[in-house]
Structure 1
Amino acid sequence: MKPPLSSSPSSSSLLKKARFSPFIFTLLAFIVFVTILYSEDFTCIFSQLDLYSSQSTHIHRSISNFKKNKHKLAFAIGETEESCDIFSGRWVRDEENRPLYEEQECPYIQPQLTCQEHGRPDKDYQYWRWQPHGCSVPTFNATLMLESLRGKRMMFVGDSLNRGQFVSMVCLLHRIIPESAKSFKENGSLTVFTAKDYNATIEFYWAPFLLESNSDDAVVHRIQDRVVRKGSINKHGKHWKDVDIMVFNTYLWWMTGLEFKILQSGEIEDKEKDIAMVSTEDAYRMAMKSMLRWVKKNMDPKKTRVFFTSMSPSHQKGIDWGGDPKENCYNQTTLIEDSNYWGSDSRKSIMQVIGEVFRKSKVPITFLNITQLSSYRRDAHTSIYKKQWSPLTPEQIANPTSYADCVHWCMPGLQDTWNELLFTKLFYP
């Protein structure tokens, strides 16, 4: 049962205790889990992800070594049940409380994400709520969020998937703000929603690699031959300073193959470049380390909160979930019910890099592990129900599977859940 809606921090209820599913933790794991959690304080929550393969790919969340800290986390007003992993759970049908807003009520959703406007015949994807096994997620409280942002900046930095999470957050907040007291402006890589009466902004900054790249134009960036400049995070980072809540993501744009081009010296625009070919894993590791160094240098953990959103899964191959090899997310209206479903092996090595880099770091970043819970949602993609970048060919029209977008997500929908989990970790870490 979810805590009641509240308009002030003092009346916001904490997560409620519930019985653990016997399918999730054995008694021994539970005892070890509680023992470790009760013995340590923490500055950030990050579950080390240990991937393994058998007949199908699974994900195992091992217990983190939480770092001790004398200071209360910024923005925190309560605590998560200490024995609860909010990222481990199941989807439940909730037609009473979902969706959290209507598509036509939020004018900020890009036409690439407005599935109803573009002819999707069903709304089933809008009625699912994430239910952790051991507790409940607090009701998203727009008033608490805006009051906490008074005089502050919240920023999402990354690619179009992080832009989707940014737009979801704006949609969740804008309804309680009078029309004359809000604005939405786009200027190159930076998009800013302003709640004027709160002197608060929710922002999105386009930087798909976090580092400088040849894909940094916020409009013209569909480049196949991608190049990232080594040690260049300050190119974008100068625009992120003085942010109070930061949400990073970067993943999709790295997945171009086994190797990646890194600019060692010179400028991105130079015809003659000093290029090194490195493995995708090493290139991604470089970006993660650069991000952590930037955060350590520029963000004060006593005043700010930094989050990293894990990989948003795609559903390009039906064979991954036991379907026809020729199918994908097109015409999928049901969830994947296998609780152990992980998807293809393509994410495994990158997830291992994230686990390795974050495990060694002392930088206080909260990890939003949305990957597996989103993996179940083959039904929630925009598929063919979106504005198309270019006119469709007769061949494509005859075969919708060929042009279905199985990467991005309809709104309202899954990404609102991402923000409910962000809300939980912000106020109830």
Structure 2
Amino acid sequence: MNEELACEMYGRKNLNYQYWRWQPHHCDLPRFDAIDLLEKLRDKRVVYVGDSLNRNQWMSMVCLIESSIPDRPKTLHYNGSLIAFKALEYNVSIDFYWEPMLLESNCDDPTNHRVSERIIRGQSIEKHARNWNDADVLVFNSYIWWRQLKLKILWGSFENVDADRIYEDVEMLKAYEMALTTWFEWLDNHVNRSKTRVFFVSSSPTHNRAEEWGKPKKHKCFYETEPIYEEGYWSMDSDPNMMRLVEKYINKLSSQGFNAQMLNITQLSEYRKDAHPSMHRKFWDQLTHEQLTTPNYHTDCTHWCLPGVPDVWNEFLYAYLLYPPS
């Protein structure tokens, strides 16, 4: 368990967030069965590719599976951007690969990626994609790292001397579509349509605007122990235009013969302001007493406690894998 997500271990007393379940209108999600899933994935490789929210979902899946095979052999290996979990009896690999921007960027280091200015290398995906091009199931996300007005696109190599580098400031949605175009073209040219299933997870909402549910703005999600009950609630921090672009490229993949789906987790997660780590997590920078007593500046309202909301996202994935759309 990553210490950023182990909320109970870091002092959270109210555990109601663990017990809410998602009930869609007009259908029922199948109950998650880890052994069923392992049988379905026998001799296969699943790779989650993305940022820390995708790692949040990957960790949820590993916990769901590992808890069902506690005495059976498994391994966990770290190798740079790749974390590989394997259930040996089933020869199933469930991996996570750190790549928050889809393309090569100055945020590629899996641990040291705090940068003052995000730079994406235009149309460059192969450096990362070669690490997951043999997967049977690919689960992508890329959203939160794009949330700024403009980004810098690098035409050239990060290894070139500064004089040889050409930078372009590009409006966010245009840059995002460029990344999705490169992603689509790579899949179209390199992935076996008859073998690989492709998923893209929609945006995971943040809950940094407590004023939206009638609380003081400074509180963020810190004091929250109940979901939002207003059906259809949508935060100002969630950008539907980005997800419409993802949907456009998922539809293009489907038209090209791919088994591709969008995992739409946004609306169900919008309600769950109660389920973030808040201050109940390990902070990798030592916080001062003043910081600890003014948690509005350091409250984590982006990631999700485990067990919790990402388990539902994986129930969606499980349903798609066991019962593909007709």
Cα distance, 1:266 vs. partner?
Answer: 2.8
Q: Name the counterpart of 2:153.
A: 262
Q: Which residue of 2 aligns with 1:306?
A: 198
The AA in structure 2 aligned to 1:405 is D
Give me the whole-angstrom Cα distance separating, in 2, the residues matched to 1:269 and 1:204.
29
With normalisation by structure 2, the TM-score equals: 0.94
2:18 aligned with 1:123: no
Task: Note the C-alpha offset of 1:221.
Answer: 1.0
Letter in 1 for 2:151: F
Q: Secondary structure at the match of 1:170?
A: helix
CA distance in 1: counterparts of 2:140 and 2:173, whole angstroms: 18
The correspondence for 2:116, drawn from 198, 202, 224, is: 224
Equivalent pair of 2:123/2:182 in contact (CA under 8 Å)? yes
Give SS of 2:23's match: strand
C-alpha displacement of 1:290: 1.5
The question of whether the paired residues in 2 share the 8 Å contact of 1:194 and 1:202 is answered with yes
| 1:337 and 2:232 matched | no
2:245 — aligned with what? 353
- Percent identical among aligned pairs is 45
> Deviation of residue 358 (structure 1)?
3.8
Listed one character per residue, the Cα deviations across residues 311-340 of structure 1 (whole Å, up to 9, x for unaligned) are 001001112333322221101001111112
Alpha carbons of structure 1 residues 324 and 385: separation in structure 2 relative to 1, 3 Å: same
2:264 alignment counterpart: 369
**Cα deviation digits, residues 337-370 of structure 1 (max 9, x gap):** 1112110055133233334444455243200000
SS in 2 for 1:406: coil
Tell me the distance in 1 between the aligned counterparts of 2:160 and 2:292: 38
Where do 5+ consecutive residues of structure 1 fail to align?
1-108
8 Å Cα contact 1:285-1:357 kept in structure 2 = no
Q: Would the aligned equivalents of 2:136 and 2:197 in 1 still touch at CA under 8 Å?
A: yes
1:185 matched residue in structure 2: 77
In 2, distance between residues paired with 1:319 and 1:242? 46
Equivalent of 1:402 in 297, 303, 315: 297
Q: Secondary structure, in 3 states, of the residue corresponding to 1:117?
A: coil
Q: Secondary structure at the match of 2:93?
A: strand
Correspondences of 1:48-87 after superposition (within 5 Å): none
Q: CA deviation at 1:225?
A: 1.1
1:425 and 1:209, CA in 2 relative to 1: closer, same or farther beyond 3 A?
same
| 2:28 is aligned with 1:133 | no
- Runs of 4 or more, structure 1, over 4 Å off, are none
Over the residues paired in the alignment, what is the CA RMSD in angstroms? Answer: 1.6
Aligned match of 1:291 in 179, 183, 207? 183
For the 8 Å contact 1:181–1:197, the answer to whether it is kept is yes
1:87-132 deviation line (CA, Å, top 9, x unaligned): xxxxxxxxxxxxxxxxxxxxxx100100000001110100101101
State the secondary structure of the residue aligned to 1:140. coil
Aligned length: 320
2: CA distance between counterparts of 1:241 and 1:112?
A: 29
2:97 equivalent in structure 1: 205
- How far the C-alpha of 1:179 sits from its partner, in A, is 4.2
Aligned-pair CA distance for 1:162: 0.4
Structure-1 residue corresponding to 2:42:
150
CA gap 1:341/1:269 in 2 versus in 1, 3 angstroms: farther
Q: Give the secondary structure class of the aligned counterpart of 2:21.
A: strand
What are the within-5 Å matches in structure 2 for residues 156-167 of structure 1? Answer: 156-167=48-59
Letter aligned with residue 13 of structure 2: P
SS across alignment from 1:128: coil
Does the 8 A contact of 1:229 with 1:262 survive in 2?
Answer: yes
CA distance in 2, matches of 1:140, 1:346: 28
Residue 31 (structure 1) aligns with: none
State how far apart, in whole Å, the 1-side matches of 2:214 and 2:323 are.
Answer: 38
8 Å Cα contact 2:205/2:238 also seen in 1: no
Q: 1:269 to 1:174 in 2, by over 3 A?
A: farther
Moved more, 369-378 or 385-394: 385-394
- Deviation, 1:397, is 1.7
Q: Aligned partners of 1:300, 1:192: CA distance in 2, in Å?
A: 22
Report the equivalent of 2:309.
Answer: 414
1:92 corresponds in structure 2 to none
1:284 Cα offset (Å): 0.6
**Stretch deviating more after TM superposition (111-120 or 346-355):** 346-355
Q: Distance in 1 between matches of 2:36 and 2:187?
A: 26
Q: Any residues of structure 2 matched to 1:237-252 within 5 Å, and which?
A: 237-252=129-144
Question: Offset at 1:180?
Answer: 5.6
In 2, the alpha carbon distance for the partners of 1:413 and 1:114 equals: 10
Highest CA radius of gyration, 1 or 2?
1
Does structure 2 conserve the Cα–Cα contact (< 8 Å) formed by 1:321 and 1:343?
no
Per-residue CA deviation, residues 68-97 of structure 1 (Å, 9 max, x unaligned), is: xxxxxxxxxxxxxxxxxxxxxxxxxxxxxx
- SS of 2:56's equivalent in the other structure is helix
CA–CA separation in structure 2 for the residues paired with 1:211 and 1:377: 30
Distance 2:275 2:138 in 1: 26
CA distance in 2: counterparts of 1:305 and 1:323, whole angstroms: 42
Distance across 2 between alignment mates of 1:348 and 1:309:
13
Distance change in 2, residues 1:335/1:346 (3 Å)? closer
Q: How far apart in 2 are the matches of 1:202 and 1:130? A: 24
In structure 2, the residue matched to 1:214 is: 106
Instruction: Evaluate the alpha carbon distance shift between residue 118 and residue 270 of structure 1 in structure 2; reply closer, same or farther with a 3 A threshold.
Output: farther
